[in-house]
Structure 1
Amino acid sequence: MGFGTGRLRSTRIRLRAAAAAALAVSVLASAGCGSESSGAEDKTADLTKLDTGNYATKPTDPTTPDPAARARVIEALRLGNIMPLASEIDPELTTNTDVPHVFLKKNSFSGYLNVDHFDEDTPGFLSGFATAAQSPAEAGRRSLDDAIMIFDSDTAATNAAAALARTGFDLKDEERAEVVPVQSNTYPGAQMLWNPKKQNLASWYPTGRFVIVTLIHNSENSYLQSYWNVPPEPAPIALADKAIEVTADRLKTFQATAPDKLAGLPLDPDGILRLTLARPDGDRTANAFNGTLDRHGALHKRDDPAKSRALFEQTGVDLVGFGAGELIRTRDTAAAQTYFDTAFVDKFQHRIDSPPGLPNARCVKYHGPRKSEFPFNCYVTFGRYVAAVWSQQLQDVYQRVSAQYAILANDK
């Protein structure tokens, strides 16, 4: 999602099966109350006139029906906060693609990898975080998926890397003969497979309790080879090695939680989830999940991370809460207004009426070429916070932004 606008991404969701996504999405429910003040109320809003539907209107302390799964989600989000952006591995990979996400169960790399034996291949797997990006078409379109998986022991991670490599790509039997193992130039422990016909390289590198999973795809070379009989390019081992290097270096700053201590991880240590509109039960809105990412982690969820990084730094964004939308915490009220005035600019978004009682909300309807875009988006500020919500239905997006505003206004 670029700058907080909602988008239904491609169904080729990376490193995610539907069950895992549903679990990661539903694991954090809410109830209770909290403390941090949101700032001075905007007097132009009339709370008594807000239509909030069945959404909560007061701050609520997050709880969960499944503490074990919740803890695994939180640990994976912690990984997201230290995980490199693809552009930090290769500066030409400037556009983030698909939805970076937590995964807890059977997953696949956009259908490239065989996950039929995932559970058998990964005993001791706890959770993971994945991100992906691609280069612009004029630079020769290629993509990089990068993920970190956490296991309960070093041995489990090492065994899983070897097992996942043996299972390999998701291919027909007659295509498997084309896949060849290749050797890293730098990391002898990395398990690498190369499919020259499809121009895919997959790598599994165990390091401590982690497995760094990398998938590189060169769609331009694949196209040239398929349609023009251009000889296949050599395996992009150097890029895979670079991904391992940068990701492993970031892992040095990460203190993994002992498996028996996971349940003790605080659900909302920074107090932003209690102010974030929670997703209703059964909600499957794309691009949304329940959890918190810091300034760096939230960049994984921006189409243009370089532009977003500059805005984050300018306005002092330190945390983003995710639920039935996004709640961005900036430096102060003035910074929130700057973010509000800068971030949500798109020539394909056309202003529509604000919801009743909330004239300071900015609502838009999308008219443009992206078929996956949510038709309705609304944004609003309160104190140091900026909220963004999206929906397929106008009434629902109105209710979401009104309820999110009410939560902030009711944080006394």
Structure 2
Amino acid sequence: MNHYDVAQSMAEPNREVAERNKMQFGFISGSSDTEPVAFQKAPPTATLVTVTVLQFPSSDAAGTAAREFEEVDFDINPEENKRVSIGKYPAAHAHWRPGTPTIGSTIAHGNYTVSVFVSTASADLPLLTSLVEKTYTAQFPRLDKLPPLSPEQVMRTDLDPEDMKRRVLNPNKLGVPSLGGLATNTMQGFLHLQTDREAAKQLYSAGNVEYVTMGQAYSAKTYSYNTKGIAQGFGTGSSQLLDGAIVYRSKDEDSAKALWSGLAAKPDPALTPTGVPDSKCADEPKPGSNAKYYLCVVRYRNYVGTVWSTQPQDSQQRAAAQYAVLANSQ
């Protein structure tokens, strides 16, 4: 994301803060403790957390940005907003409006700023602040393992160090890496795009998935059916695109077999692609859609590929093409 995307999870004026402090890169992720329903608001009983991580050129720039993010948010309603402290993180900026079940907080951590927005079922300030504290505790160690990159380093970064992109079906000939469009992720990164992350984590862990490459598989935008800048705008997973494909690399062949078994777990034998080894297909409607949706899964050695379509023949043809790409990419 760039500074124009900041308003997806933060107040619109924060775009200027990000730009003024020379924000370089960022990522937004949100989750809910209730099963999301596409095109519907989260129920009032839900707990939702949205996390926005932004990288700046220096720790000083990050510190300034964190202060300015707080001031911008606070000044939207200065008469009612009240500043609060976040447990073991006294440097965190935070505020809430008494009587509301939400809280916003931002803190600088090295060259990064971390902004957290939490919504709960009740206006319980100790609960809200504890969730912000837990989020920071989980997030900071990950940032400590991620040295900030300069714009020059980004330009020199190997775009496919695991040699995965040439193995994924890419019918639209995408060449520029993009989130969901043409990207390779570890399992941690791929889970951000999943609606039920716990179920996905169990499945991919059982398959010892090391890397996941997507070829125009997901929209880069998350579902957002509420006011910008609040957690309810996230947590429903990213929308899956029609022309996509995904390739998983497992640690070994046995692990790939386990993953293959878990995907399209109830296949329809009548849909099996002709002449494609280790393949199967199932009628698996896309979440939030009433249309027919056919998922096909293929395996070649320790690689598993998935393709999908609204037409069974099209999906079978894509499966055959994906298998051929894997078999010819050794």
Q: Above 0.5 in TM-score?
A: yes
Change (3 A) 1:364 1:192: same
Contact kept, 8 Å, 2:285 with 2:292, in 1: the verdict is no
Question: Equivalents in 2 of 1:141, 1:301: separation in Å?
Answer: 20
Question: Equivalents in 1 of 2:95, 2:171: separation in Å?
Answer: 40
1:163 aligns with 2:68: yes
1:9-408 → structure 2 map (5 Å cutoff): 103-107=1-5, 113-122=10-19, 123-136=21-34, 141-168=46-73, 177-218=79-120, 220-221=121-122, 232-234=123-125, 236-278=128-170, 280=172, 288-323=180-215, 324-345=244-265, 353-358=271-276, 360-366=278-284, 370-371=288-289, 375-394=293-312, 396-408=314-326
Which whole-Å deviations, capped at 9, do the CAs of 1:294-326 have from their partners, x for residues lacking one? Answer: 233333334444444444343322111122321
Change (3 A) 1:309 1:366: closer
Query: 2:305 corresponds to which letter in structure 1?
Result: A
Question: Equivalents in 2 of 1:402, 1:181: separation in Å?
Answer: 59
Contact kept, 8 Å, 1:366 with 1:373, in 2: the verdict is no
Question: Equivalents in 2 of 1:198, 1:391: separation in Å?
Answer: 44
Question: Equivalents in 2 of 1:116, 1:354: separation in Å?
Answer: 53
Seq. identity, %: 22
Contact kept, 8 Å, 2:166 with 2:329, in 1: the verdict is no
Which whole-Å deviations, capped at 9, do the CAs of 1:42-68 have from their partners, x for residues lacking one? Answer: xxxxxxxxxxxxxxxxxxxxxxxxxxx
Change (3 A) 1:356 1:167: farther
In structure 2, what is the equivalent of residue 20 of structure 1? Answer: none
Question: Equivalents in 2 of 1:368, 1:265: separation in Å?
Answer: 35
Aligned length: 290
Contact kept, 8 Å, 1:121 with 1:163, in 2: the verdict is no
Question: Equivalents in 2 of 1:322, 1:202: separation in Å?
Answer: 33
Q: Please, what is the CA RMSD of the aligned residues?
A: 3.4
Query: 2:294 corresponds to which letter in structure 1?
Result: F
Question: Equivalents in 1 of 2:73, 2:291: separation in Å?
Answer: 33
In structure 2, what is the equivalent of residue 22 of structure 1? Answer: none
Shift of 1:196: 4.2
In structure 2, what is the equivalent of residue 76 of structure 1? Answer: none
Change (3 A) 1:271 1:372: farther
Query: 2:61 corresponds to which letter in structure 1?
Result: A
Question: Equivalents in 1 of 2:311, 2:301: separation in Å?
Answer: 27
Contact kept, 8 Å, 1:378 with 1:401, in 2: the verdict is yes
Change (3 A) 1:369 1:380: closer
Contact kept, 8 Å, 1:203 with 1:240, in 2: the verdict is yes
Determine helix, strand or coil for the equivalent of 1:411: coil
Question: Equivalents in 1 of 2:167, 2:307: separation in Å?
Answer: 14
TM normalised by structure 2 equals 0.74
Change (3 A) 1:201 1:378: same
Determine helix, strand or coil for the equivalent of 2:172: coil
Question: Equivalents in 2 of 1:276, 1:128: separation in Å?
Answer: 26
Shift of 1:177: 4.1
In structure 1, what is the equivalent of residue 221 of structure 2? Answer: none
Shift of 1:124: 1.5
Query: 1:387 corresponds to which letter in structure 2?
Result: G
Change (3 A) 1:309 1:408: same
Determine helix, strand or coil for the equivalent of 1:167: helix
Determine helix, strand or coil for the equivalent of 1:301: coil
Query: 1:210 corresponds to which letter in structure 2?
Result: Y
Give unmatched runs, 5+ long, in structure 2: 36-42, 216-243
Comparing 375-384 and 158-167, the one that deviates more: 158-167
Question: Equivalents in 2 of 1:351, 1:132: separation in Å?
Answer: 37
Question: Equivalents in 1 of 2:289, 2:98: separation in Å?
Answer: 32
In structure 1, what is the equivalent of residue 222 of structure 2? Answer: none
Question: Equivalents in 2 of 1:179, 1:280: separation in Å?
Answer: 49
TM normalised by structure 1 equals 0.61
